[in-house]
Amino acid sequence: KLLTLTALTAFSLQLCAAEQKVGIVNFSSCIVDSKLGKQEQNAFETMHKQLVSLIEDKNKQFQEASNNLEDKDYLDGLSKEAEDQLRAKKEQLGEELARDQQQYYQLMHQGQNKIMKTVFGGISQAAEQIASAKGYQLIINKEACFFSSPSIDVTNDIIKTMDQNFDAEESKQAEKTKN
């Protein structure tokens, strides 16, 4: 047992003694500053605006039906049948509005997850390229550390490589569209 413990300790010391090249990447900066992150954020924002517009329109219709049902003068001008139709319309709009709001929250959550997954993939690809080219043994997310020296921050290199990969993919897509 003592021999095994001694061997493990010696091996651990050798690993610690070997210089390990480590890099830190700021995930948030990659989302905000990379072309891939910006593209994903723009797509998310477009979807958000469309959904908000849909919900606002439905809410406007619902409020209009509600206001008409509260207006005695308006109701006096309606037949009993028309009033019943207005109440049914308000109820239907309320259900649709609730369903649309639930769908909005689900789609926003899915959109945020898509941004994270897509950018994470871009960072992983860029980190592998940089590690291979510059001899890094480890590149980790800054949020996983309590402290890291600014000298090991490779975020700008990651973003630059992500942008190069993004441009290359855009060129491929443009070439496919031409043919």
Question: Tell me: the pLDDT tens digits for 89-145?
Answer: 999 999 999 999 999 999 999 999 999 999 999 999 999 999 999 999 999 999 988
Strand intervals (E) in 71-173:
138-141
Instruction: Please give the residue that has the higher pLDDT: either 1 or 163.
Output: 163
What's the whole-model pTM score?
0.77
Tell me: pLDDT of 175 over 50.
yes
Average pLDDT, the chain: 89
Confidence of residue 177 (pLDDT cuts 50, 70, 90): confident
Would you state the pLDDT for residue 17?
Answer: 41
Q: Residues with Cβ < 8 Å from 134, sequence gap 6 or more?
A: 21, 157
Would you state the pLDDT for residue 76?
Answer: 87
pLDDT in tens, 21-76: 899 999 999 999 999 999 999 999 999 999 999 999 999 999 999 999 999 888 88
Would you state the pLDDT for residue 75?
Answer: 87
pLDDT in tens, 147-162: 989 999 999 999 999 9
Would you state the pLDDT for residue 126?
Answer: 98
Q: Residues with Cβ < 8 Å from 26, sequence gap 6 or more?
A: 142, 153, 155
**The tokens 């510059």 sit on which residue?**
134
Distances (CA, A) of 63 to 1, 56, 92: 79, 10, 12
Would you state the pLDDT for residue 5?
Answer: 46
Interatomic CA distance for residues 102 and 11, integer angstroms: 56
Helix axes 155-178, 35-70, angle to 10 degrees: 80
Would you state the pLDDT for residue 3?
Answer: 52
End-to-end distance of the chain based on CA atoms, in angstroms? 68
SS3 (DSSP) at 141: strand
Phi-psi region of 171 (alpha: psi -120 to 50; beta: other; left: phi over 0): alpha
Interatomic CA distance for residues 71 and 64, integer angstroms: 11
User: What is the Rg, in whole angstroms, of the alpha carbon atoms belonging to the chain?
Assistant: 29
Stated length of the chain: 179
Write out the two tokens for 160. Answer: 């630059």
Tell me: pLDDT of 7 over 70.
no
Strand intervals (E) in 12-82:
22-25
